[in-house]
Structure 1
Amino acid sequence: MSDMRLIVAGAGGRMGRALTRVISETKGAVLTGALEAPGSELLGKDAGVLAGLPANGVMLSADLWSLSANADGILDFTVPKATIANVAIAAQRGLVHVIGTTGLSGSDDAVIRSVTSRAIVVKSGNMSLGVNLLAALVKRVAQSLDESFDIEILDVHHRAKIDAPSGTALMLGEAAASGRGIPLDQHAARGRDGITGARKTGDIGFASLRGGSVTGDHSVIFAGPMERIELTHRAEDRTMFAQGAIKAALWARDKKPGMYSMTDVLGLSDF
């Protein structure tokens, strides 16, 4: 099979540059397009140079329709508005759409799901192997422990991150809720301040810290009456997210239309 031709959305950002670097190192993948927001000062720049590589002749463009004419997939770690704009074009062109964008709303998710009858979408709040294994463990532990163990989720990220809780924290919350057999949206405690009263039994709490250059740390705490279990993942370099995203794209290339997750890519569905 020929190399998979990939477009990197948000190619001028930190994640976009990491994706460009990893594509250059991955057998079976090739960069064919670099997408940036209209009006960006980086439009027209060489994607390879921006990523710290030799020039590769792929210039940053704001025109996804043109870029997608000769592509097989798009790696999308941008912002919700941009991702939703990309969804329709990716579906119309028949691209594999790997979505790592966080902060998507329920209505955004509905838009994405609306195209999966004809498009292949792999969507995850985190593309790393370790985090997805962590989510599987969180679900299993939540299944095993009753409500006498309170669940709290902590995420720590760099000062420039714009959404909270992180997409990964919410993914871990969904795993915990699934293990407990409850809907997360009815049990999430997000943002405690002032006189809140005692903790409500069955809640899944979230706390977010932002500062410095932290790539991403996540902990899930099961706090019981006389003991505490803590499951933690620390990201040391965003390259791991890029590696996972490209693995997802290559995996999805021959799949049927539908909505997939990293759980599917990594074979953890029945863990």
Structure 2
Amino acid sequence: MIKIAVVGSAGRMGQTIIESINQNDKVSLGIALDKGDDLNAVLDQFDVLIDFTRPEATLDYLKICQQAEKSIVIGTTGFDDAGLELINNAAKNIPVVFAPNMSVGVNLTLKLLDMAAKVIGEDADIEIVEAHHRYKVDAPSGTALKMGEVVANALGRDLSQCAVYGREGIEEPRDRQTIGFSTIRGGDVVGEHTVSFFMEGERVEITHKASSRMTFANGAVRASSWLEGQSAGLYSMQNVLDL
């Protein structure tokens, strides 16, 4: 049975992951750690580590996993380019599942967005709106950015060049080649994302709403189980779900 280490175990997400592990008969909780605990001291107690903490902490755990040749599932968001490069480099030595959203539903949504963009994207103004709880610190969400990336790639665009983050004041008419992002923060919203394709006379909207963190936790545990026997490499939930 696969033994999982959970870091950030005292937080809301950490507690939900532990609950998901306890409900799954294919895995077991090897060790739960929080701030101040030494991962190096418990390397013999787990096979895979699940991390939904902060970028700086994740990179510390990643380095230890790389040195110990342990697999890791990363659900943390908000990495800068240097952090992303460290994740890519680590994946040359160990199996890494890295996804901004572990939800099965969100990853199915990404597939639908790819299809929609290829069919109607060139004829549409595309806007992405996301909402999360008041405590979320990065904006737009990693999931919103991933949705934008999927749409941009399907249309042969570079998201870093075509993304527009918020609007204010008097502007030129909207450029159809851009992809707009809007962010909402408040209350206890777990996560809501809508991608709208605005065409002349009609609009297509693809929406995902999460009402429980258990959706993310279950996906992360599923990814941990999938990693068994995988060779070193950088994987996404699309790989885990065979999408």
Q: Kindly indicate whether residue 124 of structure 2 is the aligned counterpart of residue 149 of structure 1.
A: yes
1:26 deviation in Å? 0.6
Q: What aligned pairs does 1:116-135 form with structure 2 within 5 A after superposition?
A: 116-135=91-110
1:260 deviation in Å? 0.2
What is aligned with 2:32?
34
SS of 1:145's equivalent in the other structure is helix
Residues 63 and 90, structure 2, Cα contact 8 Å, conserved in 1? yes
1:22 deviation in Å? 0.8
Q: What aligned pairs does 1:39-78 form with structure 2 within 5 A after superposition?
A: 62-78=37-53
For 1:10, give the aligned amino acid.
G
Q: Which has the higher contact order (CA 8 A, sep 6+)?
A: 2
C-alpha distance in structure 2 between counterparts of 1:248 and 1:235, whole Å: 19
Unpaired segments of 5 or more residues in structure 2? none
TM-score, with length taken from structure 2? 0.97
Q: 2:111 aligns with which of 132, 136, 139?
A: 136
Unpaired segments of 5 or more residues in structure 1? 39-61
C-alpha distance in structure 2 between counterparts of 1:152 and 1:162, whole Å: 21
SS of 1:101's equivalent in the other structure is coil
User: How much is the aligned-residue C-alpha RMSD, in angstroms?
Assistant: 1.1
What is aligned with 1:59?
none
Q: Kindly indicate whether residue 173 of structure 2 is the aligned counterpart of residue 198 of structure 1.
A: yes
Residues 141 and 179, structure 1, Cα contact 8 Å, conserved in 2? no
Q: What aligned pairs does 1:105-254 form with structure 2 within 5 A after superposition?
A: 105-254=80-229
1:261 deviation in Å? 0.2
Q: What aligned pairs does 1:95-114 form with structure 2 within 5 A after superposition?
A: 95-114=70-89
C-alpha distance in structure 2 between counterparts of 1:92 and 1:146, whole Å: 44
Range 254-263 or range 28-37, more displaced: 28-37
C-alpha distance in structure 2 between counterparts of 1:137 and 1:159, whole Å: 28
C-alpha distance in structure 2 between counterparts of 1:206 and 1:146, whole Å: 16
For 2:160, give the aligned amino acid.
D
* Number of corresponding residues: 243
